[in-house]
Structure 1
Amino acid sequence: MDELELLKRSGGPVTRGRIAADLRELGLGEGDLVMFHTRMSALGYVAGGAPTVISALQDVVGPRGTLMAYAGWNDAPPYEWTTWPEEWQAAVRAEHPAFDPAVSEADHENGRLPEALRRWPGAVRSKHPDVSFVAVGADAEELTAEHPWDHPHGPGTPLARLAEKGGRVLLLGAPLDSMTLLHHAEALAEAPGKRWVEYEQPVRDEAGRRVWRRFRDIDSEDGAFDYEALDAVPDGEWPFAVIARDALAAGLGARGRVGAAESHLFDAAGTVRFGVDWIERVFRA
């Protein structure tokens, strides 16, 4: 989409001040800890791009607030690399760079904002190669410290701390199904049929040596549960969209416009509790 179309969508340039005013109207405020997901094109023509969005968020939460985003690792070896021909596997095992929180790029599939936040002055990143989070602000260090190698969506993780510290989740033009926080609900839910995956990725050990480590996590790619078997989830729809819509209907989130984008603001702890209850209810019915 070209600039003129974006300008028409948003009724003129979406500036830092306009974004900040819209965020305050949505309910974000001074001192908030907020994890955000953004679809830039939905906002319209953002004057200055990703840095404008981050600056506007900082204007609203202020120096006592904290911004957080899911980063991941763009150049991680794919999960299926251990099924490749042995010669290819050997080349990857011998020379694939180890994950480096300081330089490894955020997953491009998450849009421009996580990588922009990773590069932001003062940014801190958790050290899990597959499920890293990046944060800037007063609580950044505490949120990202000692990210567990295994069960990285569960207790003691950045997502758990986001909920425990009274954080919020902002979907800034991003669809409801993008709410990464619900992987934490999946990790906590006690319901039959939970699916797990194991994979290998290269990291640095305490001595700085590149080593391959095996990780265990819920299946966050195809779903930690068999949602396709549920009547509650329409065919072809990611279940997080259904859970988030139900949460909104239960009064757990706010809806409003930021620029041209329909946006949502959720309480993290309440959404986790709702997600756990939803999963446990539908899989025990």
Structure 2
Amino acid sequence: MDQARPHTVQSISADLRALGVDAGDVLILHSSNRSLGFVAGGIEALVHALLATLGADGTLVVPTHTPHNTDPAGWQHPPVPEPWWPVIREQTPGFDPSRTPSRWMGAVPEVVRTWPGARRSTHPQFSFAALGADAAEIVAGHRLDDGLGEHSPLGAVYRRDGKVLLLGCGYDSNTSLHLAEWRQPSSPRAATGSSVRQPDGTSHWTTWVDIVTDESDFVRLGDDFEATGAATIGRVGNATARLMSQRALVDFATTWMAAHRHTEGAASPDRN
């Protein structure tokens, strides 16, 4: 360990302010907790630092997606036998914002999701959790057929001119780029499904049609965005951090995708 002393709530908050995170911001966070180095108090301390920096008028937003609650017919990593598919659809507990854990989002979103006062959107695949002044409004009205579009928390953050913080991770984790994908008139659509908890406590397999996600060009897109000088790069703890206007990012990505994308290479909507 090459740190002279442990990072703390106070030092992480100072790093965030130096990077450009301001009181009152609406901030979407993507993070690799390990990249920070040793922080006294661990993940809890990081969340305390983020909330202290944003202040009472700010809002912290994290993705709490549940890719395990998708149609098993599309699973690839690994696939499951076809005879299992109806069992999985019938027996998977229905998505419940208050109970269902996220998966593959990292440790920080799970801490935010379970933090006192956190609000979570109701989408069974692409939910987000939020803490702070605008949390309830940001997660409200998340439509099934607009998982990462205008009627998702991403669209709500865009309308509030929020910021994106990549903390020790890259553009392949930058969920806001999907909002640009949803704005492409040529983006392919497909049927998908999830188990959803009903008001009586039972689970019901629900299907709908939405955009097919494709992150395969996000790193190249991010490199081109950074080349414009629109991202601020610095250090938070030991991590390389990137801070940017979500609106500037999404507007750039919307134009970039229209110029560079070819729909024949789109990825599957259900990836496990």
Q: Which residue of 2 aligns with 1:271?
A: 249
CA distance in 1, matches of 2:67, 2:116: 21
The alignment-based identity, stated in percent, is 35
Give runs of aligned pairs for residues 76-115 of structure 1, distance below 5 A.
Answer: 76-77=69-70, 79-80=72-73, 87-107=83-103, 109-115=104-110
CA distance in 2, matches of 1:173, 1:85: 36
Query: TM-score, normalization: structure 1?
Result: 0.84
Query: Aligned pair in 2 of structure 1 residues 282, 94: CA closer, same or farther (>3 Å)?
Result: closer
Residue 198 of structure 1 deviates from its aligned partner by: 2.1
Query: Aligned pair in 2 of structure 1 residues 189, 75: CA closer, same or farther (>3 Å)?
Result: closer
SS of the counterpart of 1:274? helix
Give runs of aligned pairs for residues 1-285 of structure 1, distance below 5 A.
Answer: 7-8=1-2, 10-73=3-66, 75-77=68-70, 79-80=72-73, 87-107=83-103, 109-190=104-185, 192=186, 194-205=187-198, 209-220=202-213, 222-223=214-215, 238-283=216-261
Amino acid at match of 2:241: S
Query: TM-score, normalization: structure 2?
Result: 0.88
Unaligned runs of 5+ in 1: 1-6, 224-237
SS of the counterpart of 2:223? helix
Query: Aligned pair in 2 of structure 1 residues 86, 261: CA closer, same or farther (>3 Å)?
Result: closer
* Conservation of the 8 A alpha-carbon contact between 2:70 and 2:125: no
Q: Which moved more, 1:89-98 or 1:134-143?
A: 89-98
- Write the deviation string for residues 241-266 of structure 1: whole angstroms up to 9, x where unpaired: 22222222212211110111110101
Amino acid at match of 1:24: R
Residue 148 of structure 1 deviates from its aligned partner by: 0.6
Query: Aligned pair in 2 of structure 1 residues 204, 242: CA closer, same or farther (>3 Å)?
Result: same
* Conservation of the 8 A alpha-carbon contact between 1:66 and 1:139: yes
Unaligned runs of 5+ in 2: 263-272
Query: Aligned pair in 2 of structure 1 residues 277, 48: CA closer, same or farther (>3 Å)?
Result: same
- Write the deviation string for residues 74-115 of structure 1: whole angstroms up to 9, x where unpaired: 6425542799656533433432211010010011x1110111
Higher relative contact order (CA 8 A, sep 6+): 2
CA distance in 1, matches of 2:87, 2:146: 28
Residue 199 of structure 1 deviates from its aligned partner by: 1.8
